[in-house]
Amino acid sequence: MGKLTTHVLDTAHGRPGAGVKVALFAVTGEGKQLLKMDVTNADGRCGTPLLEGDALRPGQYELVFNAGDYFAELGVELPTPRFIDLVTIAFGIANPQENYHVPLVVSPWSYSTYRGS
């Protein structure tokens, strides 16, 4: 069985994004359902997979990272409103037998993602 994992890389400071609040939602025709909330550890990762086993199902999902609060807590001077605040990554899971790793590479001014394994 596969699993869904994530981690945060802070490119502004060249280190893992520790202490970032992460929320995982399932997205259906009826709306969004919160599946899990977590906070990244010192390595910028969630301590356990966000989904695994029977909980990992085909479908549409969203990961929401509270990047704005993370940078504010580090003392980074941010404009009001923040340029990067809540980062939402919408993605699909087609095969629950595979691993899906969805990292966030972020600074106060930009972000990107990719599918890892």
3-state class (DSSP) for residue 72: helix
CATH no. for 3-110? 2.60.40.180
Residue 95 pLDDT greater than 90, yes or no: yes
Give the pTM: 0.97
Q: pLDDT tens for residues 4-14?
A: 999 999 999 99
Residue 16 pLDDT greater than 90, yes or no: yes
Q: How many CB atoms lie within 10 A of CB 5?
A: 19
In this predicted structure, what is the pLDDT of residue 72?
98
| 114 marked ligand binding residue | yes
Please state, rounded to an integer, the average pLDDT across all residues of the chain. Answer: 98
In this predicted structure, what is the pLDDT of residue 7?
98
Q: pLDDT tens for residues 18-40?
A: 999 999 999 999 999 999 999 99
Q: What is the CA radius of gyration of the chain?
A: 14
Pairing of strands 104-106, 100-101: unpaired
3-state class (DSSP) for residue 57: coil
**Domain residue ranges of the chain, discontinuous segments joined by +:** 3-110
pLDDT over 70 percentage in the chain: 100
**Residue pair 85/79 in contact by the 8 Å Cβ criterion:** no
**Tokens at 45, concatenated:** 């990762």
Q: pLDDT tens for residues 69-88?
A: 999 999 999 999 999 999 99
Give 60's strand partners: 27, 92
Distance CA 84, CA 15 (A): 18
In this predicted structure, what is the pLDDT of residue 81?
98
